[in-house]
Structure 1
Amino acid sequence: MGKNKHRTSNIEHRTSNIEHRTSNIEHRTSNIEHRTSNIEHRTSNIEHRTSNIEHRTSNGE
């Protein structure tokens, strides 16, 4: 009887490890989303600079 209880506790331990890994994956995903928003912000800055350059060019004519 004692062996069966021990096996159950091992299964519960493994399950908690899987849950822990899942939370780590979710954390990484949120980091990727944060990086993506930074990239989008940089892209909009580049587009803004480009429009400034185009504006200066039209003034030069």
Structure 2
Amino acid sequence: KGEAITRIDGIFCRFNDNTHLSFIAFRHSKDPSKNRGVIFRDGIAIIFHKYEIVTTKYLDFVKLRN
């Protein structure tokens, strides 16, 4: 079985004025000093926000089936 090189975490925000921000953290699994992060706004942030919604719904669906 392969081991992950990095893990991705994030915070995905949609504000009342319909603007978006995404804070993406790339965590190094063995060396925290190699952790990195990126902030996206608007276009790319919208895609991350939609991806998070779809992923959450899928994980909820899987939990219900088990």
- TM-score, scaled relative to structure 2: 0.37
**Larger strand fraction of residues:** 2
- TM-score, scaled relative to structure 1: 0.40
Q: Which structure carries more relative contact order (alpha carbon 8 Å, separation 6+)?
A: 2
**Larger helix fraction of residues:** 1
